[in-house]
Amino acid sequence: VKVPHHTNSNEEMGWKHGIVALCGAILCLVCFDEASGSRGDRDPSFLRCVEGCKVTGCAGSHSCETVCNRSEEDVQPFLRLLRWDCDADCKYHCMRITNDERVQKWGRQHTWKYYGKWPFLRFMGMQEPASVLFSMLHFGLQTFLLLNYWRLVQFAKRQGPKLRYPYSWLWILEGAISLNTWMWSVVFHSRDTNLTEKLDYLSAILVVYFGLYRTLIRILEMKSVRAAASVGLAISCMYIIHIYYLLRVRFDYGLNIVICTVNGILQLSLILGWAFYTGHSQRNTLLAATLLLYVATLLEIFDFPPLFEVFDAHSLWHLLSLPAPYGWYLFYCGDTRSHLLQGKTE
């Protein structure tokens, strides 16, 4: 039994405008990412500093505090834990030195990126401390919301053996996948290596593909295990092909962004359209969460050097997007309650 649809023209235009705005923002982000580069790691003075540091253990005449000159026992525990070797530590110190010299001479607007990242101030061995902190907050919030939703599902089960919400497993699995993603986000922003970058990307891509899966299962009301498994197999194949290409053929950042963008726009359009068409009780909550992500995405578009050498646009995106999972949590709870109150049984 579907909920009768009662929408007015203002609500309908609202979610349509939200989708259009989100699409525009993400497409701009794609273009920006493609156009941006890293001038810092091509700077001759930086390259000379790194080469000299790896030989002498000193970053120019300024710093001889690199791990190159120390035994493993003398290296700070946090640097050992995050595996800062001589090459990586030299690049960090030389980045700090060459960037400080340039900024002192020409101003903050001449801050350059190095290997795709701004020259952050390292803290306890973490390359991007603000992004690490905000990713940890996301992880903690997701854990709290997932446990709360689990308690709601268990409470509903105790109300009657025949009364059951058929999509609770979907939201719980999505919560677990999100936790995995934020865990690797913490690791990647703590220490950017080839391995941690791949794990961060692959876990984030999994969230995107699972988002499409959960959207199709919910809006098409697939309650059959066979139907859900068939859709899951098809989307799993898409995900496997995607990551196989990235890992075995070419790690194409631009293509990855385009595929994830199209996927994201598709699933958001579908679930928002479905929510407003059916008059879902949490349709405005979903719209608000979507618009919040749109506003947060604007920060990524208007990228800027880190404030206080810590807070860049990406870290502030992590911070500003914090309430979005709570919006989805309200949708999950509202969908569960309305389904049970309507007396749907399995």
What is the b/e burial string over 36-52, where b = at least 16 CB atoms within 10 angstroms of the residue's CB?
Answer: eeeebbebeebeebbeb
Half-sphere exposure of 262 (CA within 13 A, CB side): 5
Give the 3-state secondary structure of residue 195: helix
Query: Identity (one letter) of the amino acid at 103?
Result: V
Position 16 pLDDT exceeds 70: no
Query: If you average pLDDT over residues 11-34, what whole number do you get?
Result: 43
Query: Per residue in 141-179, is it b (16+ CB within 10 Å) or e — as a string?
Result: bbeebbeebeebbeebeeeeeeeebbbbebbeebbebbb
C-alpha to C-alpha distances, 236 to 77, 99, 173, 206, 244, nearest whole angstrom:
40, 44, 15, 9, 12
Question: Which of 80-94, 159-173, 249-263 is predicted least confidently?
Answer: 159-173
Q: What is the DSSP letter of 247?
A: I
pLDDT band at 160; cut points 50, 70, 90: low
Among 341, 223, 280, 282, smallest CA distance to 4 is for 280
The pLDDT > 90 percentage for the chain reads 49
Mean pLDDT in residue range 231-252 = 93
What's the rounded mean pLDDT across residues 306-321?
A: 92
Task: Check whether 37 has a pLDDT greater than 50.
Answer: no
Of 24 and 76, which is predicted with more confidence? Answer: 76
Confidence at residue 8, expressed as pLDDT on a 0 to 100 scale:
44
Asked if residue 4 has pLDDT above 50, the reply is no
Question: Between 67 and 212, whose confidence is greater?
Answer: 212
Cβ neighbours of residue 205 closer than 8 Å, sequence gap 6 or more: 239, 242, 243, 256, 260
Q: What angle do CA 154, 155, 157 make, to 5 degrees?
A: 65
In this prediction, residues 58-85 reach a mean pLDDT of 80
CA gap 76, 92 in Å, rounded: 15
SS3 293: helix
| Res. 17: pLDDT tops 50 | no
Greatest mean pLDDT among 14-23, 29-38, 229-238 lies in: 229-238
Residue 163 has what pLDDT? 64
Cα torsion 224, 227, 232, 233 to 10°: value is 140
Per-residue pLDDT averaged across 23-39, rounded?
A: 46
pLDDT of residue 79: 87
161 pLDDT higher than 90? no
